[in-house]
Amino acid sequence: MDHLSPLLEACGSLVLRALVAYSSLILLCPLVSVYQEHKLWKHPSVQSLTPVGMLKVYIFNVIWMGLTLVGSLILLPKWALGGFGRSVEYEAHCLVERMSAIGCIGAMVGPVEIRGKGNLPPRFQRTGQPAPVYVANHASQIDVGAVYYLRRRFKWISKKSVTYLPGVGQIMALSGHVFIQRKGKNRGTGGSTSVSNLYAKSNEAIQGGIPMFLFPQGTRRLVERIPFKDGAFNIALSNQSLIVPISIEIPPSAWEGWYPLSLLWGGRKKPIVLTVHEPIQVKAGMNKDDLKKRCYDTIYSVLPDHGSRKES
């Protein structure tokens, strides 16, 4: 066995170096997020991000990736021993993801106010009852963190490329989120290689009592109100589940100012506001376009209109 020791030591050293190299991406990947967020806020009707704002976006993402990487490494041995069991999925989402999101929002962005809490479905579904589908507008990467304040378990639909992000990709995989692999341009039946798998996985989650959370506009838009896509409504119609519309209002000063340091001298920060609207019971035979318009109108009914509307 002594002759194997140098080999094992070399392998261990190689794995450690690979982990350190991969972890170092936590300092590089957030630069892409800063660029994307900067583009969103570069609009005449809102204030562009200042250097302080861009720094906060960067730190926000570094912290999120770091926390989720640590959390995924802690859960990895349990996953390796037991596979993708419900226990690992629950802990990855309700402990690691939720705590990381709430910590990052609370530390770098500000408080979150929830209106209409009474409209939230119960945390656990009755046996045989399909889980709800949550739908919301998507204005900023802040949305993805803020919705964890609802303290409900759910699954996202995300591009498969997200799995390569340090921390975020690993914890999302452990949580059992639904990934879609796109191939070329999304045209006709050959546009996506996993659309059918997307619906199969989403239906499986809902029938298993785990809600789906979707941004039906399909992309982030801080100002424009773009039409909703069909995916969320196809899932709800297929399962005859509740649809819960949620409005997410991001204050114009979300990334700006010296929060949280300003709390030391009594400063206040305008909150992110989540408005949970009355759920819609989806039934067989309902018109999908009417359902989309109803959710669209409901979500935007409480949000400020920046004068750049594209009706659904």
Q: Report if residue 195 sits inside a domain.
A: yes
For 174-221, what is each residue's pLDDT tens digit? Answer: 999 999 876 554 444 444 446 778 899 999 999 999 999 999 998 898
* Strand duo 280-281 + 242-249: pairing: antiparallel
**Domain membership flag for residue 306:** no
Specify the higher pLDDT residue, 159 or 1.
159
> Virtual CA dihedral for 78, 164, 134, 232, nearest 10 degrees?
-120
Assess if residue 185 is contained within a domain: yes
Contact at 8 Å (CB) between 312 and 300? no
Mark 54-85 as b/e (b = at least 16 C-beta within 10 Å). Answer: bebbbebbbbbbbbbbebbeebeeebeeeeee
Instruction: Say if CB 105 and CB 112 are below 8 A apart.
Output: yes
Q: Which domain holds residue 61?
A: 7-300
Query: Considering the domain boundaries, does residue 311 fall inside one?
Result: no
Which of 62-71, 141-150, 152-161, 290-299 is the least confident region?
A: 152-161
* Domain presence at residue 2: no
- The structural domain count of the chain equals 1
List 113's β-bridge partners, or say none: 273
Q: How far apart are CA 92 and CA 175, in angstroms?
A: 5
Give the integer Cα–Cα distance in Å for 109 and 260. Answer: 8
- pLDDT, tens only, 88-100: 999 999 999 999 9
DSSP 218-287: -S--SS-BPPPPSHHHHHHHHHT-EEEEEEEE--TTTT-SSTTGGGGGT---PPEEEEEPPPEE--TT--
* pLDDT for residue 289 is more than 50: yes
pLDDT at residue 115 is higher than 60: yes
Is 117 among the domain residues? yes
Does residue 311 surpass a pLDDT of 50?
Answer: no
The answer to whether residue 1 is domain-embedded is no
pLDDT at 255: 94
- Residues in the chain, total: 312
CA 111 centroid distance within chain: 18
Q: Could you give the percent of the chain with pLDDT greater than 70?
A: 86
What is the reported pTM?
A: 0.89
143 occurs within a structural domain: yes
pLDDT in tens, 234-283: 999 999 999 999 999 999 889 998 898 888 888 888 999 999 999 999 99
Average pLDDT over the chain, rounded to an integer? 87
Q: Taking 90 as the threshold, does the pLDDT of residue 287 lie above it?
A: yes
- Region label for 275, one of left (φ > 0), alpha (ψ between -120 and 50) or beta (otherwise): beta
Q: Which tens digit of pLDDT belongs to each residue from 42-71?
A: 888 788 899 999 999 999 999 999 999 999
Tokens matching residue 2: 């002594």
Supply the CATH number for residue 152's domain: 3.40.1130
Angle in degrees, CA 145, 289, 230, rounded to 5: 45
DSSP 108-167: HT--EEEE-GGGSPPSSPPTTPPPPEEEE---STHHHHHGGGG----B-EEEGGGGGSTT
pLDDT band at 11 (very low <50, low <70, confident <90, very high): low
Residue 92 near residue 174, CB atoms below 8 Å: yes
pLDDT band for position 293 (cuts 50, 70, 90) = very high
